[in-house]
Amino acid sequence: MTTLSQELVAKRDRLLALVSSYESCAIAYSGGVDSAVVAKAARLALGDNAVAVTGVSASLADGELDQAASLAAQIGIRHERLKTDELSSPGYVANAPDRCFHCKTELYTQLAAVARRLGLREVASGTNVDDLGDYRPGLAAAAANGVRQPLADCGITKSDVRAIAASWELPVANKPASPCLSSRIAYGQSVSPERLRMIDRAEQFIRALGFPICRVRFRAGEIASVEVPRELVPRLAEPQMHDSVCSELLRLGFHAMEIDRLGFRSGSLNESLPLHEIQSISKA
């Protein structure tokens, strides 16, 4: 078990006290480390008055739901599955830079309805302090729907989250981030169930080859831009490995494959956005 510093013990205790003040809560729970820590805190602070809710749609990678359910059982928190329909939103399908706003609006609107049905006072997310400095239009949707952010409110960073998760012996303490599959599609390229399935299957194939962290970005022209950690780029570029991956991606429906020589970067598709556009959406 990881031993926390005095500073982190204080943050953890503030988190438990804050969540306790909610009296009851539904957690937007993906099974990642952030939402898992909130779920664990809610279970400790609120007992049966806490419910973890996972949104299920075509943008959820295969296997993630089963992992989330297993972790919820380990935490001991009630776990609900919520079918969301963001693909019915023209703003989401169009995939402009504010796509995440439309997705989270769908999630939080439905999650609020679940909370009302179950008699829960608050809805909470796993947003941490580091998220507040990133380009995340979904935060505007959270604010519009009154979603609480206990990690951020307690000054808890991503590294803090992982340390607290390790101290609570949560198996996701070091789990890589796994954002929704739609985040792999370049802005302006429409989102569809078919494209999401292509991306999911491509990433599963590449991970099975020994690249546990990878992204397959769907770019204009049906091009798959593959990102793996920079130190693993030479291995991916080896002729036999390259040909194997390329052949599979073409079979899945991509028209071409390229390797991003800069390596994996979280949110790399945001690099193409003008600064003024990021600022305007972030303030919306």
Q: pLDDT tens digit string along 140-156? A: 999 999 999 999 999 99
**Predicted pLDDT of residue 267:** 73
Is CATH 3.30.70 the right assignment for the domain spanning 181-265?
Answer: yes
Q: How are beta strands 215-219 and 223-227 bridged, if at all?
A: antiparallel
78-83, strands of its sheet edge to edge:
78-83, 50-56, 25-28, 122-124
Residue 163 pLDDT greater than 50, yes or no: yes
How far is CA 199 from each of CA 95, 180, 224, rounded to the nearest angstrom? 16, 11, 9
The answer to whether residues 122 and 115 touch, using CB atoms and an 8 Å cutoff, is yes
pLDDT value of residue 3: 87
95 SS3 class: coil
Range list for CATH 3.40.50.620 in the chain? 6-167
How many CB atoms neighbour CB 164 within 10 A? 25
Nearest to 177 by CA among 130, 133, 219: 130
The domain over range 6-167 is classified in CATH as 1.10.238.10: no
- Contact yes or no for 85/60 (Cβ under 8 A): no
- Identify the burial level of 130 via C-beta atoms within 10 angstroms of its C-beta, where 0-12 means exposed, 13-18 middle and 19 or more buried: middle
Q: What is the pLDDT of residue 29?
A: 98
3-state DSSP: the chain helix, strand, coil percent, rounded to 5? 55, 15, 35
pLDDT at 269: 75
Confidence of residue 177 (pLDDT cuts 50, 70, 90): confident
pLDDT computed for residue 1 by the predictor:
65
Q: Per-residue b/e over 24-62, b at no fewer than 16 CB within 10 Å? A: bbbbbbbbbbbbbbbbbbbbbbbeebbbbbbbebbbbbe
Q: Which residue in this structure is represented by tokens 């089963």?
A: 66
Provide the pLDDT confidence category of residue 282 given band limits of 50, 70 and 90: very low
For 56-88, write each residue's pLDDT tens digit.
Answer: 999 999 999 999 999 999 999 999 999 999 999
Record the pTM: 0.91
3-state secondary structure of 200: helix
Taking residues 155-178, report their average pLDDT: 95
How far is residue 191's CA from residue 111's CA, in Å, rounded to a whole number?
Answer: 23
Instruction: Please compute the mean of the pLDDT values over residues 92-109 and round it to a whole number.
Output: 95
Per-residue CA distances from 171 to 10, 135, 175, 217 (Å)? 23, 28, 8, 28
- The span from the CA of 99 to the CA of 195, in Å, is 16
Q: Please determine, for residue 199, whether its predicted confidence score (pLDDT) is greater than 80.
A: yes
How far, rounded to the nearest angstrom, does the alpha carbon of residue 35 sit from its chain's CA centroid?
9
Question: How far is the C-alpha of 26 from the C-alpha of 114, rounded, in Å?
Answer: 8
Lowest mean pLDDT among 207-211, 216-220, 264-268: 264-268
| pLDDT at residue 274 greater than cutoff 60 | no
- The CA distance from 171 to 102, in Å, is 31
pLDDT digits 0-9 by tens, 7-51: 999 999 999 999 999 999 999 999 999 999 999 999 999 999 999
- List, by residue range, all CATH 3.30.70 domains of the chain: 181-265
